[in-house]
């Protein structure tokens, strides 16, 4: 790949000129015996911003001093905390600030959105989705279908990769939509496949869905904070995502939801209402009839947690400071560097290493490595050398270096560990530490 050479010097040079390098020190990096570990698990749980404790302590202090009055009279009233995230998130999600809300958790939000956007009719009741979607999505879709009295085996259509391949072809998705156009109620898809790291053409899927007369929604769990999104311009009906992966909101973080503005004032759109989704201008009139907010906040049902919002805002402040465009630039460069080094390994060890199944073009931070018989031992070797990666059954290692706290030298370090393991005569054994300087 142009501009790279397989050397520590190349990695060090890129770190020196990296305009986002200083943000690494704004996160709590896991350490063992005083040594920083290499954390490539941003696709599972992002690291903690150093300001989180201060932000949470501020909320706890307000709670202790003001009680419920902190909703209105804290230096930053708790009522206003959710809206603080909208300017940054709207850039990341690619929508109007009025088209998103921050609430609940991912699967809860999907159920709430499905109540509005999966409205099957006698001959238009099917959902089209990716095969082997994340299990929670599969459970959610199946339960929604059953609630409407349909058999998931008949109502849910899955699009699979061709035999012998790992990624789904775009043409197969579009052909499936066309084939089932008369019976489709909804296309529901993951923006990025959690297993392979494949990024899907959401604009093309949304266009084909609407051409077929169906609604379209996306699970953006592995897309939000990872890849460029433009939900409003793509004419997506709805989407939901979590904030604890690439957006570093903390374990169990409050999640996000998007609803295109054209649905906000549609009287015929059903919705599971709650008091917090009432128009803020009339919320405290305590009227019997629900008066929905004129924005995506109409889909809120419960009081937001100031503590969870404080955790998320600590990360979003860093995103705002770094700039979404610059974050995307480093994401691309970091992932290109990783793929370059993975190619070197595949060429050097063609029969005993791994094969990267993540597409070269459509990808974000994640690279998924399909391993052979020694795959789990290879993963254990990474772990023993202080590299946090992810093992997915039956034989995939996932790596996800992210732009705000990972470095080019850490990717080089991972390359060294792989090469040592694969070049060792006894690579079927757990590799011991060898004297290569750890990343600090």
pTM of the model: 0.94
Split at pLDDT 50, 70, 90, the class of 363 is: confident
As given in the structure block, the two tokens for residue 367 are 């690279």
3 state DSSP class of 74: coil
As given in the structure block, the two tokens for residue 157 are 């259509």
Split at pLDDT 50, 70, 90, the class of 145 is: very high
Say if residue 434's pLDDT is above 70. Answer: no
Question: So what's the pLDDT on residue 265?
Answer: 85
Question: So what's the pLDDT on residue 350?
Answer: 86
The string of DSSP letters for 121-187 reads -SS--EEEEETT--HHHHHHHHHHHHHTT--HHHHEEEE-PPTT-SS--HHHHHHHHHHTGGGEEEE
Question: So what's the pLDDT on residue 261?
Answer: 97
Which helix (H) or strand (E) segment holds residue 210: the answer is helix 202-211
Contacts of 145 by beta carbon, 8 Å cutoff, 6+ apart: 120, 127, 151, 152, 155, 156
Split at pLDDT 50, 70, 90, the class of 433 is: very low
Q: What is the rounded average pLDDT of the residues 151-159? A: 98
Under 8 Å between Cβ of 224 and 243 = yes
Domains in the chain (CATH in brackets) are: 8-36+324-423 (3.90.1150.10), 54-321 (3.40.640.10)
Question: So what's the pLDDT on residue 437?
Answer: 38
Question: So what's the pLDDT on residue 373?
Answer: 86
| Structure confidence by residue, pLDDT tens digits, 34-63 | 999 999 999 999 999 999 999 999 999 999
Residue whose entry in the numeric block shows the structure tokens 């997915």: 392
Under 8 Å between Cβ of 206 and 216 = yes
353, HSE (Cβ side, Cα atoms, 13 Å): 23
Question: So what's the pLDDT on residue 107?
Answer: 98
Question: So what's the pLDDT on residue 424?
Answer: 85
CA angle 239, 139, 203 (to 5 degrees): 30
- Encode 354-377: b = buried (16+ Cβ within 10 Å), e = exposed: bebbbeeebbbbbbbbbbeebbee
Burial class for 290, CB neighbours closer than 10 Å (0-12, 13-18, 19+): middle
Residue whose entry in the numeric block shows the structure tokens 């350490």: 31
Whole-angstrom distance, CA of residue 224 vs CA of residue 230: 11
| Structure confidence by residue, pLDDT tens digits, 109-135 | 999 999 999 999 999 999 999 999 999
Whole-angstrom distance, CA of residue 119 vs CA of residue 185: 7
Question: So what's the pLDDT on residue 3?
Answer: 85
Split at pLDDT 50, 70, 90, the class of 435 is: very low
Question: So what's the pLDDT on residue 321?
Answer: 98
Averaged pLDDT of the chain: 94
As given in the structure block, the two tokens for residue 351 are 């029969």
Say if residue 429's pLDDT is above 50. Answer: no
Residue whose entry in the numeric block shows the structure tokens 């943000």: 23
**Dihedral sign, Cα of residue 338, residue 366, residue 252, residue 375:** negative
| Rg over CA atoms, the chain | 23
| Structure confidence by residue, pLDDT tens digits, 245-297 | 999 999 999 999 999 999 998 877 899 999 999 999 999 999 999 999 999 99
Of the candidates 403, 431, 417, which has an alpha carbon nearest to the alpha carbon of residue 369?
Answer: 417
Question: So what's the pLDDT on residue 247?
Answer: 98
Q: What is the rounded average pLDDT of the residues 215-233? A: 98
Orientation angle between helical segments 8-17 and 324-348, nearest 10 degrees? 180
Say if residue 427's pLDDT is above 90. Answer: no
Q: What is the rounded average pLDDT of the residues 318-341? A: 97
Question: So what's the pLDDT on residue 269?
Answer: 86
149 φ/ψ sector (left φ>0, alpha ψ -120 to 50, else beta): left
Question: So what's the pLDDT on residue 362?
Answer: 72
Top-confidence residue, 127 or 436: 127
Q: What percent of the chain has pLDDT over 70?
A: 96
Say if residue 324's pLDDT is above 70. Answer: yes
Residue whose entry in the numeric block shows the structure tokens 């501009």: 3
CA distances from 99 to 95, 339, 341 (A): 6, 35, 40
As given in the structure block, the two tokens for residue 133 are 């979607």
Say if residue 215's pLDDT is above 50. Answer: yes
Whole-angstrom distance, CA of residue 236 vs CA of residue 259: 8
Contacts of 298 by beta carbon, 8 Å cutoff, 6+ apart: 264, 271, 273, 277, 292
Say if residue 406's pLDDT is above 50. Answer: yes
Of the candidates 421, 264, 403, which has an alpha carbon nearest to the alpha carbon of residue 330?
Answer: 403
């Amino acid at each position: 790949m142009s501009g790279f050479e397989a050397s520590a010097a190349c990695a060090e040079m890129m770190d020196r000129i990296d305009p986002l390098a200083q943000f690494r020190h704004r996160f709590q990096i896991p350490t063992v015996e005083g040594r920083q570990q290499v954390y490539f698990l941003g696709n599972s749980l992002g690291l903690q911003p150093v300001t989180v404790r201060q932000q949470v302590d501020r909320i706890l202090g307000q709670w202790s001093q003001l009680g419920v009055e902190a909703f209105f009279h804290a230096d930053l009233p708790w009522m206003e905390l959710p809206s603080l995230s909208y300017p940054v998130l709207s850039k990341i999600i690619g929508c109007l600030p009025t088209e998103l809300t921050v609430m609940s958790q991912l699967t809860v939000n999907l159920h709430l959105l499905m109540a509005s956007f999966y409205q099957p009719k006698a001959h238009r009741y099917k959902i089209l989705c990716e095969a082997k979607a994340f299990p929670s999505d599969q459970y959610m879709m199946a339960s929604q279908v059953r609630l409407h009295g349909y058999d998931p085996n008949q109502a849910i259509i899955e699009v699979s990769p061709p035999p012998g391949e790992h990624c789904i072809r775009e043409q197969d998705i579009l052909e499936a939509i066309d084939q089932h156009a008369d019976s489709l109620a909804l296309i529901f898809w993951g923006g990025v496949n959690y297993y392979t790291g494949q990024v899907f053409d959401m604009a093309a899927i949304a266009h084909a869905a609407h051409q077929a007369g169906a609604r379209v929604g996306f699970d953006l769990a592995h897309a939000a904070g990872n890849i460029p999104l433009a939900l409003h311009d793509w004419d997506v009906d709805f989407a939901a995502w979590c904030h604890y992966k690439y957006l570093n909101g903390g374990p169990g973080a409050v999640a996000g939801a998007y609803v295109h503005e054209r649905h906000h004032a549609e009287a015929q759109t059903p919705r599971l209402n709650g008091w917090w989704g009432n128009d803020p201008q009339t919320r405290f009139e305590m009227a019997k009839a629900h008066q929905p907010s004129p924005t995506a906040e109409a889909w809120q049902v419960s009081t937001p947690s100031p503590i969870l919002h404080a955790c998320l805002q600590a990360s979003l402040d860093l995103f705002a400071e770094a700039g979404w465009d610059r974050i995307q630039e480093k994401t691309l460069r970091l992932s290109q560097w990783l793929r370059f080094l993975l190619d070197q390994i595949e060429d050097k060890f063609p029969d005993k290493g791994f094969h990267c199944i993540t597409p070269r073009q459509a990808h974000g931070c994640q690279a998924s490595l399909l391993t052979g018989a020694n795959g789990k031992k290879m993963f254990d070797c990474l772990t023993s050398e202080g590299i946090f990666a992810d093992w997915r059954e039956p034989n995939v290692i996932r790596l996800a270096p992210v732009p705000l706290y990972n470095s080019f030298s850490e990717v080089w370090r991972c390359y060294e560990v792989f090469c040592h393991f694969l070049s060792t005569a006894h690579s079927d054994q757990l590799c011991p530490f060898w004297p290569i300087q750890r990343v600090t």
